[in-house]
Structure 1
Amino acid sequence: MFGLIFSRRKRVELQKAQKMLDIVNDFSRQEVFYTQYGVPDTMTGRFDLISLVASLVVIRLNRIANKDSQGLVQAFFDVMFRQFDYSLREGGVGDLSVPKHMKRMMQGFQGRAHAYDMALVRGMDDDGHALSDEQKYDLLSRNLYNNEPSDAVTAAYGLFAELAAYIMQLSDDEILAGNIDFPKITALENKQATKSAA
């Protein structure tokens, strides 16, 4: 009986997690990120962009801090890294090398999530000190642009800060149901422009 209940709950969590990952993927695959915002159109660049958007979802889920949210976080990790595993194999990485790549990707994701929590969500470091704009841009540059010079960093920061604000204001019920439909990029850009003009 308990095994059936657990299995059913896990199945529902995986379905919600896949729904969220599909939304993250669709948002991250928009051409504008690679043409207007200078994200490298490479396997690494695509991983970094998906990691950014997915990190914001995980940060929001972790704010709930109960059994439902933690189960969904784990399910989200499961489906996301299954996708990364598949992408590596499709990209020609051999079976023996995949585990090493996956370990690096997991560590990279955790580091990026921490950086984005500081730069895009909290605006402060782990000691509670407010980050300057330059420090925030630097965190984004390191984690999304691999420290390559880009004129798009400032604009990209504003866009992703608006996305972070949108995700953080979702209700617990919305995020736990997997209802994370993102605003259109033009809507995020308009909000950013309005704030800049104020």
Structure 2
Amino acid sequence: MFGLLRRRPHERTGFELYSAAVAAAREPWAFAVLGVPDSLAGRFDLISMHVALLIRRLRADPDPRGALLGQAVFDAMFADMDVNLREMGVGDMSIGKRVKGLWEAWHGRTLAYEAALDAGDSPALAAAISRNIFAGHAAADAAGPQALAAYAEALAAALAAQPLAGLLSGQLRFPPTPGDIVP
């Protein structure tokens, strides 16, 4: 019985890192400058990108605590999604189905972003961002997705340079607002 009351490894730090990723995803430049739709879907997609890159960094660490912390960030994201759906009035009976749909969307996007980053393929990353984040929106000209892809590449590099010890203590630094990266 008392085992049920224990926290999972890195739970608090996972929420701290997730919260930092959400704050970075809410920076107004992506909406105002790049034309990311300021909607539930647009915000979800930016949060998804930031969290996917953070988890990618944590999973890549040779220290097994990196993968555990990555799982804690993932758990924090989907616990937050559950809470947000409930706050928006989604009924208890459909929460599981909605969260599963969000997970599937996040997972597909993550695979596309990771494949492009791992291959060093900037055009493929911009295409994935265009398809997912700018899908069906007139503002999805080449400049927005390319600029966001450049930011994602800078973000991946910045995350890779951060030591696991800092991440384990909840310290996460995002690159500055990418005004100087926009092509």
TM-score under structure 2 normalisation? Answer: 0.86
Contact kept, 8 Å, 1:40 with 1:145, in 2: the verdict is yes
Residue in structure 2 matched with residue 127 of structure 1 by the alignment: none
- Structure 2: gaps spanning 5 or more residues: none
Query: What residue number does 1:53 align with?
Result: 50
Contact residue 19 and residue 178 of structure 1 kept, 8 A: yes
RMSD: 2.3
Confirm whether residue 141 of structure 1 aligns to residue 138 of structure 2: no
Given that 2:130 and 2:145 are in contact with CA atoms closer than 8 Å, whether structure 1 keeps it comes out as: yes
1:168 maps to: 160
Identity of counterpart residues, as a percentage? 30
Could you tell me which of 176, 179, 183 is aligned with 1:189? 179
CA contact (8 A) 2:154 2:175 kept: no
The 8 Å contact of residues 37 and 155 in structure 1, kept in 2 or not, is answered as yes
Aligned length: 178
* Residues 57, 156 of structure 2: 8 Å contact kept: no
Of structures 1 and 2, the larger Rg is shown by 1
Q: How does 1:6-155 map to 2 (within 5 A)?
A: 7=6, 10=8, 13-119=10-116, 121-122=117-118, 124=119, 131=121, 133-149=122-138, 150-151=140-141, 152-155=144-147
SS of the residue aligned with 2:73? Answer: helix
Moved over 4 A (4+): none
1:148 to partner: Cα distance: 3.5
Kept in 2, the 8 Å contact 1:159–1:189? The answer is no
| Amino acid of the structure 2 residue aligned with 1:88 | L
Unaligned regions of 5+ residues in structure 1, if any?
A: 125-129
Deviations 1:25-73 (Å, cap 9, x if unpaired)? 1111112211111111111111111000000110000002543122212
